[in-house]
Amino acid sequence: MKKILVTGGCGYLGSHAIVALQLAGHEVVSIDNHVNSSPDVPGRIQSITGKIFRNYVVDLCDSHELEKVMVAESPFDGVIHFAAFKAVEESMSAPLKYYQNNLIGLLNLLAACKRHKLTNIVFSSTCTLYGNPDSLPVHEGCELRPESTYGKTKWMGEEIFRDAAATGEFKVIALRYFNPVGAHPSAMIGEFPKGVPANLIPYMTQTAIGIRELLKVNGNDYPTRDGTCVRDYIHVCDIADAHIVALEYLLNGQMQHNFDVFNLGTSIGQTVLEMVQSFEKVNEIKLNWVFGPRRKGDIIAMYANASKAEKVLGWKPKHDLDSMMRTAWAWEKQLQRER
């Protein structure tokens, strides 16, 4: 059993990673300020795993409060860093908010790791680093040219970790994942955006349940097979499993370099319209939707070449599109029962 620090542990990705960590036998400590998460998540996770974990309501941008956690809980064997703002559209209208939160929080965490000799780090990165790629599918060696402020903060984060790892003090894996969707099969945790959802699937499920009146598909004039954006959608549980595999790769001393990056995706591109149609078919429900204007910062098409993760880490996704749609809807219905 290893002791793992998870930042953003009550968020969408962090909560699923904690479930996977606990089921793998690890001890977990979480930091989450609940700005974009719910304080009831630890209880939900316990209902799945039967295990508790300590969550500190701390903002990573507050270095003094972060240090208190490190002093109280160290030593750790590894850290998975999820905590960040992640809405592409919001990042374009509030760039300073994103630079301050995502980069200062990361720098504070890295400085704390240095002080407490926490060397093994898994960084939650993103496929938005690739911008609008010249060819598909994208692999880890493709040119990085993020178009949104959010993507730029993740690109800068990777560079910071890369330079820190070059000193020999850290070993870092950056996971560039594509579009996480779905929910845990228990329907006890899932994506729970505060306010109006910025991502397609929660907006879709909230429209289906009646919280949102209308789903707008942003843009129908892109140069794709049906005019809507193409993305690589991957089940959140597959993303969580990948973080555990990457962490154990670090802990077992298998890293040949101090810094490495891996794409996480299905290697299949689905259009937004195809996602809407899939949701309707799998769940036997009709969505109220229309086409709307393009959304600033969105890229045309993106899907992964994830062969490196399979070859090096031994990871590949297990869940199909039907599972993504079915679990997302089950989670939304569970939330409706609790309201």
The average pLDDT across 206-226 equals: 95
| 156-170 pLDDT, tens digit each | 999 999 999 999 999
Q: How far apart are CA 151 and CA 139, in angstroms?
A: 17
The per-residue pLDDT for range 115-141, each reduced to its tens digit, is 999 999 999 999 999 988 889 999 999
CA atoms within 13 A on the CB side of 101: 21
| Amino acid letter, residue 94 | A
SS3 for 162? helix
pLDDT per residue as tens digits for the range 270-283: 999 999 999 999 99
Q: If you average pLDDT over residues 227-233, what whole number do you get? A: 96
**pLDDT tens per residue across span 234-282:** 999 999 999 999 999 999 998 989 999 999 999 999 999 999 999 999 9
Q: What is the pLDDT of residue 23?
A: 96
Is the confidence at residue 297, as pLDDT, over 80?
no
> From residue 93, how far is each of 89, 100, 130, 239 by CA, in Å?
7, 14, 21, 28
Structure tokens at 16: 């699923």
Separation of CA 141 from chain center: 21
Predicted pLDDT of residue 241: 97
Percent of the chain with pLDDT over 90: 91
Q: Is the peptide bond before 75 cis (omega within 30 degrees of 0)?
A: yes
pLDDT at 54: 96
pLDDT at residue 141 in the model = 96
pLDDT attached to residue 230: 95
Say what the pLDDT of residue 193 is.
86
Q: Rounded mean pLDDT of the chain? A: 96
Distance CA 191, CA 197 (A): 10
> Do residues 227 and 64 make contact, with C-beta atoms less than 8 angstroms apart?
no
Confidence category of residue 295, pLDDT binned at 50, 70, 90: confident
Average pLDDT over residues 37-41: 95
| Residues of the chain above pLDDT 70, percent | 100
pLDDT over 90 (residue 199)? no
Q: Domain 3-181+234-265, CATH 3.40.109.10 — does that match?
A: no
pTM of this structure: 0.95
- Name every residue whose Cβ is closer than 8 Å to that of residue 169 and which is 6 or more positions away in sequence: 114, 119
Task: Say which amino acid occupies 123.
Answer: F
Stretch 27-31: mean pLDDT: 98
CB crowding 37-66: b at 16 or more within 10 Å, else e:
bbeebbebbeebbebebebbebbbbebebb
**Catalytic entry in 98, 150, 203, 233:** 150
Residue 339's pLDDT is 79
303 is catalytic: no
CB 113 within 8 A of CB 164: no
User: Given this model, what pLDDT does residue 298 score?
Assistant: 81
CB 172, CB 5: distance < 8 Å: no
DSSP strands (E only) in the chain? 3-7, 27-31, 54-56, 78-81, 120-126, 171-177, 179-181, 215-218, 230-231, 233-235, 259-264, 270-271, 289-292
pLDDT (mean) for 39-55? 96
- State residue 198's pLDDT score: 83
Token digits for 45? Answer: 């996770």
